[in-house]
Amino acid sequence: MDTHPRKRPRILLHDPTLRDGHHAVGHQLDADQLRAYATAANAAKVPVVEVGHGNGLGASSLQIGRAALDDATMLTTVREALTSSRLGVFVAPGWGTSHDLVAAVHNGADIVRIAAHCTEADVTERHLDVARDLGAEAQGVLLMSHMTGPGELAEQCALMATFGAQAVGIMDSAGHYLPADVTERVHAVADAVDVPVIFHGHNNLGLAVANSLAAVDAGASVIDATARGFGAGAGNTQLEVLVAVLERHGIETGIGLREVLAAADIAADRLMKAPPSIDSTAVASGLAGVFSGFRRPVQQIARAEGVDPVDLFLALGERQAVAGQEDLIGDVARQLKAATR
């Protein structure tokens, strides 16, 4: 392992409030909401504003939830609001296709995140190619990254870099990590690649900001964070808190604290009924290592079937359900119900 002190790069904050936050509201944000937050984030000089269905391009479905707006409307609405921030999109091959990707870049996406489950980086090869050919900045991210170890994450990230990813990294989709887990994984990835390393945290165990700080110290230079932490499960790393924490840590983000606080207040007023909280199901989800985005469907199905949502999350964890497998929730709930009769 590299033991030399790393030269501390400027950290780029990537803001998926209008994408990950969709999980918290059943993918129902309207154009006025998107415009209001994008305008505020742009004014705060947030470098990248990501928008889309919670699971990205092409993911609006009965399985994951139908969005109020189609991909094109979301993108063109946010595009019009951004003058300095770049526009990001997220697509997981298998949920979205190259067709969706081409349309997104046509509609103004500057940065394209291609996502795969943590051991599946080779599904990103085709789509990273497409994104590069379109002239977008192409990044590769691994979902549900707690399901494998630092060595394999490093190999998978290195693979995405060889496919042409201009930044690579890991998502703590279940909010499962402790800071030491993040340190070890980000170190391994940073040692394996020459491109910027991305970290995306969730707050199920109350550690999203601490984990993001650990990622920065371990060599990550692109950190995802959302206003008020608006996002799946217990929410994401809270953007305005992270800006303040990084300022205290002596790290430049280029984002003004006043302006980002104003943007976060607009998010709180316009996007959500209540800010994300770490309720009992969120803790269970983080501990069990189940995708944070399952929170709403788990709560709905648990209520309908008369089972405890905490039990349901733990049972889904035993099945190692991954993001995209929402169809398992009902089956597992009915099995739990049958077992308790």
Partner 1 sequence: MAADEQRLRVAVLGAGLIGIDLADKIRRSAKLELALVAGRDRDSLGLRRAADMGHPTTDGGIHAVVEGGPFDAVFDATNADSHPEHWAALCPTGTTLIDLTPTGLGTVIVPGVNSHRMAAHRHLNLVSCGGQATIPVLHAIAQRCTPTYIEVVSTGASASAGRATRLNLDQYIATTSAAIRTFTATPDAKVMVNLSPARPAPPFRVAMTVLAEAIRTAPVRTSIATAAQAVRAYTPGYKVTSLAVTPGRISVAVEVTASGSRLPRHAGSVDIINAAAVLLAEQSAATSR
Binding region for partner 1 (CB under 8 A)? 59, 61-63, 93-95, 97-99, 116-120, 122-123, 125-126, 144, 147-148, 319-322, 324-328, 330-331, 334
Please confirm, yes or no, whether 23 is among the known catalytic residues: yes
Closest approach of Cβ 63 to partner 1, in Å? 5
Please, which residue, 188 or 255, has the CB nearer to partner 1?
A: 188
Residue 18 or 116: the one with the smaller Cβ distance to partner 1 is 116
Closest distance of CB 231 from partner 1, Å = 21
Q: CB neighbours of 155 closer than 8 A, spacing ≥ 6?
A: 192
Nearer to partner 1, 11 or 64 (CB): 64
Torsion-angle region of 251 (φ positive above 0: left; ψ -120 to 50: alpha; else: beta)? beta
Contact 62, 101 (CB under 8 A): no
Minimal distance, residue 162 CB to partner 1, in Å: 14
- CA-CA distance, 17 to 203, in Å (whole number)? 14
DSSP 167-204: EEEEE-TTS---HHHHHHHHHHHHHH-SS-EEEE-B-T
Task: Tell me how far, at minimum, the Cβ of 118 lies from partner 1, in Å.
Answer: 6
Categorise residue 55: left if φ over 0, alpha if ψ from -120 to 50, beta otherwise. alpha
Q: Looking at beta carbons only, is 37 or 90 nearer to partner 1?
A: 90
At what angle are helices 208-217 and 239-248 packed, to 10 degrees? 40
Catalytic residue among 22, 23, 127, 202: 23
Q: Which residues are catalytic?
A: 23
